[in-house]
Chains A and B, each alone.
Chain A
Amino acid sequence: MRPHRAIAATVTAGLLWTVPACTGETDAPTMTRAQAKQQTADYAGQAIADLPQPVTTASGRENGTNCFKNDAPSEYDGRVVEVTEKRLSGIPADRQDEYVERLRARIESMGFHRDDSEALRTSIHFTNAANRFTGSIDGIGSTHGMLVIGFTSPCVWPDGTQPPH
């Protein structure tokens, strides 16, 4: 191995072990999985409460997924995220902007801020700084009269605290 590789790798290895300390959150208590799920469902319900008509709302994704270890990005760390999605169909193509604008305003009124994601042409992304939940509007510009909104929790311990090793 070239010497400069060894130096860089040593730097990398040292940094690796500082990451958990920097983020400092993986072992901290969180809301429970059930609470996280309920929160995403509440957000989704509020977001679609007073949409323009016509629109047909249907449940989309309801299952969450796993979070990963800092030092092993393919290994589960025991935490999960919860998700609630709604699929909105039957939106007239020429009025999609109106629906998107209504959803955006509604989501921002719930404490979310729009992220700097202008580069994403088909979606708008939001974060709630108070609890690190995220929200999204997807399918912007869709030719099939459909939008998808979703809310996702941060990584939480299923029972709210890290289980003992």
Chain B
Amino acid sequence: MDIATLRNADINGITTAGAAYDALVTALGRHAESWQHEVADRLGAAQWTGTAAENATAEIQAIGTELRLAAQELSFVSRALAEAAEGFAAAQAHLVNALDDAEKQKFTVAPDGRITWDAEPTSANHPGDRAEETAKELGRRITAALNEAAHADSEIAQRLNHLARNANSGTGLDAATVRKDREAFAAREAVPPAGTDPEAVKRWWDSLTEAQQQRFVLNHPDRVGNLDGIPAVARDQANRINLARSKQDLQARLDRLGPEPEQFLGWAKGEPIPNPDYVAWHRRQQDLQEKLTAIAAIEDRLTGDGAESRDGTPAYLLGYDTEGNGRAIVSVNNPDTADNVVTLVPGTTSRLATAIGDVDKADEMVRAADRTDPGSPRTTAAIAWVGYDAPQNIFPEASTDAYAENAEEDLARFQHALRTTHEGTPSHNTLMGHSYGSVVVGFTMRDHTPPVDDVVLVGSPGVGVDHAEDLNIDPSRVHVARGSQDTMIKTAAGTGLLFGRDPMDTDFGARHLPAGTTDHSHYWLPGTESVRSFGAVITGNGNDR
């Protein structure tokens, strides 16, 4: 595929051919129905009997079956043409956009793809100081567009060849062949189920053209958005659709709640009789309202004033669910392209409604990482992972293993996915847990050994092991932080009865980070030593003193 071929391709021709083919298939389908009604059914209703009649009936039914199979088989051709047209159109649009941008920025693109520019800095046609980098990026976009078209070309060729072979050999009239083809087409529409190995998901995603990927995002955002192994940009796009849809759904449910029931049903023995409907109504109303408020806050961070007040630092919605207590996984900056990636697992009471508070902490970590080496081009992505059902109270919920056990597999898979979708040089990845979130991190490290470089346990009550080395990572990469006013956790962890030895205990063997005088809730406030020490670890500056 070359630039001129793709730029000048008349894709409308393929679309028109696909539509014409569709019309033929529809007509053939009608003929097959007519054959059934007008011939086969009438013959069956006739009083014709005997050997000749049986032979004729069988033959006529076989013809009807072959007509229906042929119509199905041919429908695959029109679908293949429609998808090819989509793929070519997307590739052509990407190429034209890149060529337009090149022209606007004063670059010349030769027919073979070479990019040249006026290198004289004083010339009016000089593209600027970053000409070489810009040219490389333009070249990358042009190559990607050509590859996209070549991929679509190769795919349509394979599919049409297969269908043509079926037609020429007559196997396309065979029920088993048509069923196989139908399954192959259905598989193209299927999203891998939740929990699939991220590498398998990534391979599936990469096998799709960009147009097909877009179709999956738009048609199945609920399944694409939360699927580990899908790149961050696509997950974000899908989840923004999910966010908008759920907002409408929750608002509709709130509107349908109806009027507030009476608080009391009457009086008995001088006491009011509580109305259970009143309590249930308020619980549902509060849940819906809380989620709508959370959605507004997340939207604000993604696109509104919340993004603006953070100097436009982008945020990506990598996971989203409103069921139960609700979940949200939000990354400040793109983890697929960042040099450093940290995942924060919050603890007790975290849920969709509180996710924005954890996003604030992620924002602070990005800033803290930046401050370790101001002016550096290296980037940091910080992820608030409200991706599990956290305990909602200290007792009894936060004193049990169950919430951590239920979370560890998902957290481990998410960490693997960060590696799978990351582009270029592998990032420096840190896994951090706060309070009960550190229990989740500890269990995950102990049982799944996710691919992380550093672990940070903040305000931890214990992590399910008695020694840092039992977390399946070099103990010098296990860091603990506890502020002098975090007295509640200190006492709880000191008993050693909840989740094993206190990680602050010298015998635990972790590195102690400066955490100043913070209490349990403010490790990430700007101006604290704790958030600075997190920045140092996240950027890999915490271990080489």
Give residues in A with beta carbon < 8 Å to B: 1, 4-13, 15-16, 19, 22-23, 61, 63-76, 81, 83, 87, 89, 115-117, 119-123, 125, 127, 133-136, 138-139, 141-148, 150-152, 155
> Are B487 and A19 in contact (CB-based, < 8 A)?
yes
> Are A143 and B349 in contact (CB-based, < 8 A)?
no
Encode contact with A along B528-542: 1 for CB under 8 Å, 0 otherwise. 110011001000010
Beta-carbon contacts under 8 Å, B499-534 to A: 512-514, 516-517, 519-522, 525-529, 532-533
Instruction: Tell me the nearest residue of chain B to A83, going by C-beta.
Output: B526
* Chain A neighbourhood of B495, CB < 8 A: 4, 7-8, 11
Closest approach, in angstroms, between the C-beta of A23 and any C-beta of chain B? 6
Interface core residue of A13, A64, A68 (most chain B CB under 10 Å) = A68
Q: Which of B57-65, B225-233, B365-373, B441-449 contacts A (4 or more CB under 8 A)?
A: B365-373
> Are B520 and A19 in contact (CB-based, < 8 A)?
yes
- Contact A150-B527, Cβ < 8 Å, known A73-B435, A125-B516, A125-B532: yes
> Are A123 and B371 in contact (CB-based, < 8 A)?
yes
- Contact A8-B492, Cβ < 8 Å, known A68-B357, A76-B357: yes
> Are B371 and A74 in contact (CB-based, < 8 A)?
no
Closest approach, in angstroms, between the C-beta of B185 and any C-beta of chain A? 46
> Are B521 and A9 in contact (CB-based, < 8 A)?
no
Q: State whether the Cβ of B360 lies closer than 8 Å to any Cβ in chain A.
A: yes
> Are B398 and A9 in contact (CB-based, < 8 A)?
yes
> Are B400 and A5 in contact (CB-based, < 8 A)?
yes
- Contact A70-B521, Cβ < 8 Å, known A16-B488, A81-B526, A120-B532: yes
Beta-carbon contacts under 8 Å, B273-310 to A: 309-310
> Are A134 and B527 in contact (CB-based, < 8 A)?
yes
Closest approach, in angstroms, between the C-beta of A35 and any C-beta of chain B? 17
> Are A6 and B399 in contact (CB-based, < 8 A)?
yes
Q: State whether the Cβ of B485 lies closer than 8 Å to any Cβ in chain A.
A: yes
Closest approach, in angstroms, between the C-beta of A26 and any C-beta of chain B? 10
* Chain A neighbourhood of B435, CB < 8 A: 73
Partner of A81, one of B367, B394, B525, B545: B525
Instruction: Tell me the nearest residue of chain B to A81, going by C-beta.
Output: B525
Beta-carbon contacts under 8 Å, B297-328 to A: 309-311
A154 to B367, CA, bound (A): 18
Interface size on B, residues (CB 8 A): 59
A146 to B167, CA, bound (A): 70
> Are A138 and B374 in contact (CB-based, < 8 A)?
yes
* Chain B neighbourhood of A144, CB < 8 A: 373-376
Partner of B374, one of A8, A70, A146: A146
> Are B373 and A139 in contact (CB-based, < 8 A)?
yes
Give residues in B with beta carbon < 8 Å to A: 309-311, 346-350, 354-355, 357-358, 360, 363-364, 367, 371-376, 394-396, 398-400, 434-435, 459, 461, 485, 487-488, 491-492, 495, 497-498, 512-514, 516-517, 519-522, 525-529, 532-533, 536, 541, 545
Instruction: Tell me the nearest residue of chain A to B308, going by C-beta.
Output: A63
* Chain A neighbourhood of B311, CB < 8 A: 61
A120 to B531, CA, bound (A): 11
Interface core residue of A19, A23, A135 (most chain B CB under 10 Å) = A19
> Are B372 and A122 in contact (CB-based, < 8 A)?
yes
A15 to B533, CA, bound (A): 27
Give the secondary structure class of A's interface: mixed
* Chain B neighbourhood of A7, CB < 8 A: 495, 497
> Are B399 and A74 in contact (CB-based, < 8 A)?
no
A18 to B520, CA, bound (A): 13
Partner of B349, one of A64, A73, A123: A73
- Contact A125-B398, Cβ < 8 Å, known A11-B491, A119-B545: no
* Chain A neighbourhood of B525, CB < 8 A: 65, 67, 81, 152, 155
> Are B519 and A70 in contact (CB-based, < 8 A)?
yes
> Are A142 and B533 in contact (CB-based, < 8 A)?
no
Partner of B513, one of A73, A119, A148, A155: A119
Instruction: Tell me the nearest residue of chain A to B516, going by C-beta.
Output: A115
Q: Which 6 pairs from chain A and chain B are nearest by CB?
A: A152-B527, A144-B375, A9-B399, A74-B354, A138-B371, A74-B357
- Contact A143-B373, Cβ < 8 Å, known A5-B497, A73-B520: yes
Instruction: Tell me the nearest residue of chain B to A7, going by C-beta.
Output: B497
Closest approach, in angstroms, between the C-beta of B521 and any C-beta of chain A? 4
> Are B371 and A139 in contact (CB-based, < 8 A)?
yes
> Are A9 and B541 in contact (CB-based, < 8 A)?
no
> Are A70 and B520 in contact (CB-based, < 8 A)?
yes
> Are B488 and A139 in contact (CB-based, < 8 A)?
no
Instruction: Tell me the nearest residue of chain B to A125, going by C-beta.
Output: B529
Closest approach, in angstroms, between the C-beta of B192 and any C-beta of chain A? 31
Closest approach, in angstroms, between the C-beta of A125 and any C-beta of chain B? 5
- Contact A72-B354, Cβ < 8 Å, known A8-B498, A15-B492, A89-B375: yes
- Contact A68-B487, Cβ < 8 Å, known A63-B310, A145-B375: no
Partner of B394, one of A13, A89, A148: A13
* Chain B neighbourhood of A63, CB < 8 A: 309-310
Interface core residue of B358, B371, B485 (most chain A CB under 10 Å) = B371
**CB pairs A–B below 8 angstroms (6 shown):** A4-B495, A74-B358, A75-B357, A122-B372, A139-B371, A145-B375
- Contact A81-B399, Cβ < 8 Å, known A74-B357, A142-B375: no
> Are A13 and B374 in contact (CB-based, < 8 A)?
no
A127 to B529, CA, bound (A): 10
Interface core residue of B363, B364, B372 (most chain A CB under 10 Å) = B372
A75 to B371, CA, bound (A): 26
Partner of B521, one of A73, A133, A141: A73
> Are A73 and B347 in contact (CB-based, < 8 A)?
yes
A67 to B524, CA, bound (A): 10
Closest approach, in angstroms, between the C-beta of A18 and any C-beta of chain B? 8
> Are B349 and A148 in contact (CB-based, < 8 A)?
no
* Chain B neighbourhood of A133, CB < 8 A: 527
* Chain A neighbourhood of B485, CB < 8 A: 22-23
A134 to B363, CA, bound (A): 19
> Are B373 and A9 in contact (CB-based, < 8 A)?
no
> Are B519 and A119 in contact (CB-based, < 8 A)?
no
Instruction: Tell me the nearest residue of chain A to B297, going by C-beta.
Output: A76
A87 to B367, CA, bound (A): 13
